A and B are shown apart, each in its own frame.
Chain A
Amino acid sequence: GAGVSQSPSNKVTEKGKDVELRCDPISGHTALYWYRQSLGQGLEFLIYFQGNSAPDKSGLPSDRFSAERTGGSVSTLTIQRTQQEDSAVYLCASSQRWGNTGELFFGEGSRLTVL
């Protein structure tokens, strides 16, 4: 696609429910990142994919968070048993270059609200 696409753009869920957030990166981009941004805060790194493998998942805050990437393309971030502190904007970014020297192209984000 022309840009990084994320869905849903907004998600309201009840505490304890599971949610899935989807990211469709720019075609041909091998690197994919997930970040989390709370209101007025910086970008908190969650996980990084190179192809389908995740060499760096150090930022996942707990075992309720998991992510996968299939076919070197679409990625899904899953949050199980959501808590109110999970409320944030989840941003996905892709990069043409692997490693840490490539420009990141961000999607519009998925805003998650946990009631």
Chain B
Amino acid sequence: GQQVMQIPQYQHVQEGEDFTTYCNSSTTLSNIQWYKQRPGGHPVFLIQLVKSGEVKKQKRLTFQFGEAKKNSSLHITATQTTDVGTYFCAGAGGYSTLTFGKGTMLLVSP
């Protein structure tokens, strides 16, 4: 079945440093979504990417979808303590249900 791998599992940065998490699929994806889950909270939708090579920005967050539509990344510039949480990618191929990666837990020290 479809698998979505996410790395790293965990990253600890100092406030102001950049952060990137990567998502790789074993199959071509029709779209990829990113979610953020704060500690003790539930996942909250951030963005969806559909087109090959697509790049979208939300303030300090930059999302990319690979040319082959098998990988994606989320980059945060100049992290803040409010960025703390676990970031999940979720991909789907064809008509399959969204498959979530295991997430990258981000810890930001002031």
Contacts and interface: CB of A to CB of B under 8 A. Distances in A.
A107 interface: yes
B68 interface: no
A101 B43 contact: no
Contacts of A104: 33, 35, 43, 45, 90, 98
B88 A43 contact: yes
A99 B103 CA distance: 23
7 contacts: A43-B43, A56-B96, A93-B43, A99-B95, A104-B33, A104-B43, A104-B45
Interface of A: 33, 35, 40-43, 45, 48, 56, 58-59, 91, 93, 99-101, 103-109
A103 B45 CA distance: 7
A101 B43 CA distance: 16
Interface core residue of A40, A41, A108 (most chain B CB under 10 Å): A40
Nearest to A89: B42
Given A42-B88, A100-B30, A100-B31, A91 B100 contact: no
Interface residues of B, number: 26
A43 B1 CA distance: 16
Contacts of A93: 43
B92 A42 contact: no
B101 interface: yes
A42 B100 contact: yes
Contacts of A43: 43, 88, 90, 100
B92 A100 contact: yes
Contacts of A109: 42
Contacts of A42: 6, 88, 100-103
